[in-house]
Every structure is written in C-alpha cells, then in structure tokens.
Amino acid sequence: MSRHVLSVLVTNHSGVLSRVAGLFSRRGYNIDSLSVGVTENPEYSRMTIVARGDDLIIQQITKQLNKLVDVIYIKELESESSVCRELALVKVSTKDNNRASIIEIVDIFRANIIDVSSESLTVEITGDQTKVKAFLDLVEPYGVKEISRTGLTALERGDQEIKQYLNLSE
C-alpha cells in the first residue's frame, strides 16, 4: 500500500474537521497524518491528509470527500511536483557529558534548540519525514522524553495554486 498526500480545500467553519475525520472512520480508512490551517483567504482552510492505500482506495476516499458539502476541491500531490514538510518538537534528555554531542547533531540537521534545562534540550526540527526520522534515530540513544509532531503539510511546486482550479482568486 503506497502513501498518498491529499491537499483538500474546505470551507473554514466549525465541524468540518470532524466530518472529514468521521468519513475516514466510518469507512474504515486510516489517516497517517493530518494537518489543517486557514489559507491566505480566511473563508477557506487547507487540509493535508496522508493516507495509505492502492489507487482504488484513494479514488474511493476522494469520491467520498467530494460528497461533503464543505469540501471545495481535492488535489492529490505527487512527491516530485510538491514540497512536503513536517515540524517536530523533541525533548531530549541531557547530561553534562553528552550535551555537546546532542548540540552537534542539532547543528548537523539545521534544527534549533528552543528550550534548555539542566536535564533536557527541546529541539525544533523541520523537514521531510525522512529527515525527522533520521534525527530521531540519532538522538534516541540519549533518551527522548517527549515528541510532538505536526503531521505533513504540503504545497504544489511552482506557480500552481489550489484556488486557480476554482477561480477563487480574491
């Protein structure tokens, strides 16, 4: 089963997220990742949904989403023609003798230390899921206390805009 990234333009109203998640749940589909935020136009939100399945399953998901009143447009984003990123906050256990090693790993991954305490560092890392996983694999031996991840967010590369498919320009 392959990974599919759906960019879904929806109206920015309460309950839309619940209806979309409920659709997946009722049909027995799993959401690997979900990120939602308002667009440049406050009337609309963009959902980036990552789901696994064959083409038939993704086609079925798309058809079901299109039936929801609040869903305006759905575009499957291909990896070669889109930019995908994730944000992770990672609290890593530190001791005096390993703090420099952890800071070195943070620098290599171009991550940022956003909080420091006597026994931990909180690191902010952004990148594709492979980069985030590689970072986590390297800091795991030091002791990862907590992780919070945003899920994947994505845009099509170049001049393509989801709203141009609908003539929603302001």
| pLDDT per residue as tens digits for the range 96-152 | 899 999 999 999 999 999 999 999 999 999 999 999 999 999 999 999 999 999 999
Task: List, for residues 65-90, the tens digit of each pLDDT value.
Answer: 999 999 999 999 998 889 999 999 99
Tokens of 82: 């889109």
Given pLDDT bands bounded at 50, 70 and 90, which one contains residue 159? confident
Given pLDDT bands bounded at 50, 70 and 90, which one contains residue 161? confident
**How many beta carbons lie within 10 A of that of residue 145, not counting itself?**
14
Query: What are the structural domains of the chain?
Result: 2-77 (3.30.70.260), 83-153 (3.30.70.1150)
At position 67, the amino acid (one-letter code) is K
Closest by CA to 170, choosing from 12, 38, 41, is 41
Q: Assess contact for 48 and 33: CB atoms under 8 A.
A: yes
Relative orientation angle of helices 55-66 and 16-27, to the nearest 10 degrees: 140
In the predicted model, what is the mean pLDDT of the chain? 91
Q: What is the dihedral of CA 155, 161, 163, 169, to 10 degrees?
A: 130
pLDDT at 170: 45
Bigger pLDDT: 87 or 165?
A: 87
Given pLDDT bands bounded at 50, 70 and 90, which one contains residue 166? low
Over residues 13-26, mean pLDDT: 92
Bigger pLDDT: 163 or 155?
A: 155
Over residues 32-51, mean pLDDT: 93
Which residues, including other chains, have CB under 8 Å from residue 65's CB and lie 6 or more apart? Answer: 6, 8, 20, 23, 71, 74
Q: Assess contact for 87 and 149: CB atoms under 8 A.
A: yes
pTM score, two decimals?
0.83
